[in-house]
Chain A
Amino acid sequence: MWNKIINWLEVRVGLGNFIQTQVIEYRIPKNINLFYTLGFLAVIAYGVQAVTGIVLLIYYIPHPDHAFRSVQDIMTKVPYGWLFRQMHTVGSNLMITVVILHMITVFMMGNYKRPRELTWLGGGLSLLITVMFGLSGYLLPWTQLSYWATTVVTSMPTALPLIGEPIARILRGGDSVTQITLSRFFAFHVAVLPPLFLALMGVHLFLINRIGISATPFGMQDEERRPLTEYKRKTHPDGYSYYPLFFQKQMFMVMAYFSVMFVIITFVPTLFFPDEANMPADPNHTPADIQPAWYLLPPYQLLRLVPNKFLGITLQLVLVLVFLSWPFLDSHPEKNVLKRPILRGVFIFLLVMWLVLLSWGRI
């Protein structure tokens, strides 16, 4: 009976053939490591955010008079509302962490090099969109923490002369954070950013499939002659088959992701909820020590440190541009970062600086 259904589908969809060629016969490099699963993990993390977000959408009310109350009700009165809200909050922080780790490991393995520059660009833009998701979502519970952290972050563009004020005003929909800000952040978070993200993901994944998985440069000699000058799909005829080996690795990482999420939800559920996160927003009263979310602390701290503010913000814009266009700027044929001490040194230095700024910003 079951076989009859499968057969019916097979004739009309060719699913079996598809699975056979794309999944079972898909070959991945022999020296693949666990870091290669991070991309898939990021997509799963996004899926968790999307599903829990839609669930929360059922009870959330995006107006300042009701937002805080509706989130309270979700946490207290709606059965298992706490579960979905906690998953969404913890998940947002975990997703940003995973995306950053994915970016770091791709960089360290030199997998951004020709012909994969566009893949890197798509990924970099996805990171920016993920941070924008975090920024817009942060305001939605309309707590003291949300309101004032958003006030701080939306004021950062004012460091740019002439165009800074208009940019900040467009972001906020006014001179301060109001109901207009909440509405537009909500629209962005729920309706604008998701399709944008999914479109970028589509392009990113298509390119990965089209060009083929790149082998790690560690240990095994990469037999590609660099630089490449014509399109050639990278295959691994003597590699492992994707299913079951790599699929298992990916599933393991997904389970690890959920385990970390639920360790946090079980043992430190208040990790992302300081006292200000439990108070309704009060535009007339600023709590002491307000600061943006952790992933925005390094730019914030940099802005506070650099004496010339215009320089401070342009330095950051320049860094972001360099980061996005790095594959176009780095033409060295050597993929193995272990054989490029200067690049390694600079990269580790920047990473350490990023962490230093993060901790400094917390004070």
Chain B
Amino acid sequence: MKRRRFLKIAIAFLGSVTLLSFIYALVKFLSALPSRIAEANRLTIRKSDIPSGEAKNFVYQNAPAVIINRPDKGFIALTRTCTHLGCLVEYHHVKQRMMCPCHAGSFDLEGNVMSGPPPKSLTSIPFRIEGENIVIG
């Protein structure tokens, strides 16, 4: 009977270890708080990286975006996906516009449509200024 007892204890031990591993995994799974996932998605850019009149491209929630340092009105962050057929719009320093190369759609630096086929304005992306940094997301 010693063998049977040993086997029963061994199985119970393995069983508890397995159960505890799953419970551990589940607890960690549930404590992936939104802030932890958001942190992974958060983007920080130094203000000094973008001189006045310049722009910097970045990726926001898997979509291309741009942050522009407008000479008159300060920073703005816009999506770069043209609302016409989805091409990427480019920031034109000289014209102070966002231009779409595909069908010549043009947006002002608030994202509003100035001319061309785009039906809607570009979405602006919220961001915060924290001291020397711009924080998006």
Cβ-defined contact, B26 with A78, below 8 A: no
A58 and B40 contacting across the interface, CB-CB below 8 Å: no
Q: Considering the chains assembled together, what is the distance between the CA atoms of A83 and B24 in angstroms?
A: 12
Contact B29 A79 (CB under 8 A): yes
Let me know if B30 and A58 touch, CB within 8 A.
Answer: yes
Q: How many residues of A contact B (CB 8 A)?
A: 12
Q: Measured between alpha carbons, how far is A77 from B42 in the docked complex, in Å? A: 14
* Chain B residues within 8 Å of A55, by CB: 26, 29
Contact residues in B for A79 (Cβ distance below 8 Å): 25, 28-29, 31-32
B40 touches A77 (CB 8 A): yes
In the bound complex, residues from chain A placing their C-beta under 8 Å from that of B25 are 79-80, 83-84
Contact residues of A between 248 and 283, Cβ < 8 Å to B: none
* B110 CB, min distance to chain A CBs, angstroms: 25
Residue on A with the closest CB to B32?
A: A78
Write out the residue numbers on chain A whose beta carbons fall within 8 Å of the beta carbon of B29.
Answer: 55, 58, 78-81, 84
Asked if B28 and A73 make an inter-chain contact with CB atoms under 8 angstroms apart, the answer reads no
A interface footprint on B27-62 (CB within 8 Å = 1, 0 otherwise) = 011111000010010000000000000000000001
Complex Cα gap A83–B22 (Å): 9
Complex-state Cα separation, A81 to B31, whole angstroms: 11
Would you call A73 and B26 a contact (CB within 8 A)? no
Chain A nearest CB: distance from B97 CB in Å?
Answer: 29
The answer to whether residues A78 and B62 also contact, given A55-B26, A55-B29 and a CB cut-off of 8 A, is: no
Which residues of A (51-108) have their CB < 8 Å from a CB of B? 55, 58-59, 69, 73, 77-81, 83-84
| B31 partner residues in chain A, CB cutoff 8 A | 79
Nearest neighbor of A79 in chain B, beta-carbon distance: B28
Q: Shortest Cβ distance from A81 into chain B, in angstroms?
A: 6
Cα distance A80–B37 in the bound complex, in angstroms? 14
Q: Look across to chain B and name the residue whose beta carbon is closest to the beta carbon of A77.
A: B37
Residue of A nearest to B18 (CB): A258
Q: For the complex, give the distance between the alpha carbons of A73 and B28 in Å.
A: 14
User: Quick one: closest B residue to A68, CB to CB?
Assistant: B62
Distance (Å) between the CB of A63 and the closest chain B CB? 14
Question: B8-34 CB contact bits vs A (8 Å, 1 = yes)?
Answer: 000000000000000001101111100
The smallest beta-carbon distance between B20 and chain A, in angstroms, is 13
Q: Which residues of B contact A83 (CB under 8 A)?
A: 25
Query: Whose C-beta in chain B lies nearest to the C-beta of A81?
Result: B29
Chain B residues in 8 Å Cβ range of A59:
32
Q: Are A80's CB and B62's CB within 8 A?
A: no
* Given A78-B37, A81-B29, 11 other A-B residues pairs in contact with their CB atoms under 8 A: A55-B29, A73-B37, A77-B32, A77-B40, A78-B32, A79-B28, A79-B32, A80-B26, A80-B29, A81-B32, A84-B25
